[in-house]
């Protein structure tokens, strides 16, 4: 018995899919508008919400793959487990992640909403309860209400932009931004300027390692965690807005693509008044093979011992990024 082809694979396959790619660009532009409007006193961050203790998905491999498909010769007669277990899981292409959007100063932060999204619409938005109380009737007309009163489903980009505009123009948001500006202006004369040396890094592990290195060298430095590579340019702008004379080093992981990482940083930061250390691949690689079997938690717990035991000169020879950090700290 011959069955029909159930696959929908053709040149027009993508036409009925509405992609969420532009959400990142839309949010990035809103971050820039707020930063420039407040002269760097208030900045916005749109970033993935991460949960500590992430689960490791174990790959399950098919033991037998379709045999004898006409015209296809790339498949072997049988596929052993070892032939697929090292392949990249394509499921990661269709991510399902949570993002948060916050406005921040050096002392305050306020989360306006959370967004759960995949590469295609619809997306789900969870609006701050106070904001939602003010604009619930409007959101009910624009988006699709869900079971919880501050949760809504958004089916396309046009609707997303309308919802976003409604949230950003809400009276609670405008009030908080106004109060944050007042408090920044009231305290600006009392606050100390940032130290001469500032390092901006991606995450908490990077911050802890860099601070431990600075302590071993007996160097004072302010280290700021950006909570992700794509937030680094916004943090840089905020630091420069606070003290234009600060010497800034940006330390980011390349995740195996150094040129792409460099291009992203250069395009997003409209100045050359900084130093850049791109780590290939991640910061833990500086201390290989000593920490080869360490989890992130174990590395953090053991970092003082690790730093004391390694030879900085030898690591500098092997890793240009490490050498850049050391020279920056010793200026």
Q: Which pLDDT band holds residue 179 (cuts at 50, 70, 90)? A: very high
Average pLDDT over residues 130-135: 96
**pLDDT digit string (tens) for 273-288?**
889 998 887 888 888 8
Q: Which pLDDT band holds residue 147 (cuts at 50, 70, 90)? A: very high
Average pLDDT over residues 235-248: 79
**CATH top class, domain 197-329:** alpha beta
Predicted pLDDT at 164: 97
Average pLDDT over residues 18-34: 91
Average pLDDT over residues 195-223: 88
Q: What is the 3-state secondary structure (H, E, C) of the chain?
A: CCCCCCCCCCCCHHHHCCECCHHHHHHHHHHHHHHHHCCCCCEEEEEECCCCCCCCCCCCCCCCCCCCCCCCCCCCCCCCHHHCCCCCCHHHHCCCEEEEEEEECCCCEEEEEEEEECCECCEEEEECHHHHHHHHHHHHHHCEECCCCCEEEECCHHHHHHHHHHHHCCHHHHHHHHHHHHHHHHHCCCCCCCCCEEEEECCHHHHHHHHHHHHHCCCCCEEEECCCHHHHHHHHHHHHHHCCCCEEEEEEECCCCHHHHHHHHHHHCCCCCCEEEEECCCHHHHHCCCCCCCCHHHHHHHHHHHHHHCCHHHHHHHCHHHHHHHHHHCC
Average pLDDT over residues 108-137: 95
Inform me whether the pLDDT recorded for 213 exceeds 80. Answer: yes
Domains of the chain, residue spans: 13-52+94-187, 197-329
pTM of the model: 0.53
Inform me whether the pLDDT recorded for 296 exceeds 80. Answer: no
């Amino acid at each position: 018995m011959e069955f029909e082809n159930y696959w929908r694979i053709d040149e027009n396959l993508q036409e009925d899919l509405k992609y969420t790619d532009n959400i990142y660009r839309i949010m990035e532009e809103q971050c820039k508008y707020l930063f420039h409007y407040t002269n760097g006193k208030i900045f916005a961050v749109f970033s993935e919400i991460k949960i500590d203790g992430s689960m490791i998905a174990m790959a399950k491999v098919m033991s037998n793959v379709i045999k004898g498909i006409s015209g296809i010769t790339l498949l072997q007669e049988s596929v052993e487990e070892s032939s697929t277990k090292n392949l990249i899981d394509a499921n990661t292409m269709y991510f399902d992640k949570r993002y948060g959007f916050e406005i921040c100063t050096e002392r305050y932060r306020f989360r306006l909403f959370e967004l759960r999204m995949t590469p295609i619409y619809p997306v789900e938005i969870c609006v701050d309860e106070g904001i939602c109380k003010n604009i619930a009737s409007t959101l009910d007309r624009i988006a699709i209400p869900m079971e919880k009163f501050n949760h809504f489903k958004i089916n396309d980009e046009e609707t997303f932009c309308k919802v976003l505009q409604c949230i950003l123009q809400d009276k609670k948001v405008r009030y908080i931004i106004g109060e944050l500006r007042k408090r920044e202006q009231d305290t600006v004369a009392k606050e100390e300027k940032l130290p001469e040396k500032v390092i901006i890094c991606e995450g908490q592990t990077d911050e802890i390692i860099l601070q431990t290195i600075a302590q071993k060298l007996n160097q004072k430095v302010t280290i700021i965690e950006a909570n992700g590579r794509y937030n680094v340019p916004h943090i840089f702008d905020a630091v420069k807005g606070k003290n234009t004379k600060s010497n800034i080093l940006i330390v980011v992981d390349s995740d195996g693509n150094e040129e792409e990482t460099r291009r992203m940083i250069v395009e997003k930061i409209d100045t050359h008044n900084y130093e850049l250390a791109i780590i290939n691949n991640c910061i833990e690689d500086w201390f290989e093979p000593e920490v080869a079997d360490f989890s992130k938690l174990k590395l953090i717990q053991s970092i003082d011992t690790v730093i004391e035991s390694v030879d900085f000169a030898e690591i500098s020879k092997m890793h240009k990024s490490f050498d850049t950090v050391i020279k920056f700290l010793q200026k």
